[in-house]
Amino acid sequence: MVHFSRVATVVIDVPDGDHGSELSFWAAATGQQLPELDSPEYHGALLPGQDIGLLVQRLGGGTARIHLDIYTDDLDAEVQRLEHLGAQRVEQARTWWVMRDPAGLLFCVIPEPGGTLNDSNSRRWE
């Protein structure tokens, strides 16, 4: 099935105790306000002049890391495409999938509302 996807966000995952200082650092480093999004765990914004966002995410546990978010207009098709390339599903979280690439690094595949991804801002997969 034809669908679209794109790498949309660089996510900086940080433990709870480091979230405030990490948020302040990245806001100053990018010169970009990183407001709270849909919950206190998430602060971020699109970067000026870029087609990519930056998100600082508060972790419940674990160590600091960075991961990518891939947005798609067909979650099932994109997850299957990535599995054929060697990725593995880790867990479904809310409406998206957390996956692991062949080297063991985590990333997320997130559904984007239909019509927002197209040939001008993403990759078409047939």
The Cα–Cα gap between 13 and 1 comes to 33
Domain interval for residue 91: 3-125
Q: Who contacts 84 (Cβ-Cβ below 8 Å, separation ≥6)? A: none
pLDDT tens, residue by residue, 55-91: 999 998 889 999 999 999 999 999 999 999 999 999 9
CATH number at residue 12: 3.10.180.10
pTM of the model: 0.92
Q: How many domains does the chain have?
A: 1
The Cα–Cα gap between 99 and 109 comes to 7
Query: Residues 112, 114, 117, 119: what is their CA dihedral angle, to the nearest 10 degrees?
Result: 150
pLDDT at 77: 97
pLDDT at 61: 83
Confidence of residue 54 (pLDDT cuts 50, 70, 90): very high
User: Among residues 51, 50, 42, 46, which one has the least CA distance to residue 13?
Assistant: 42
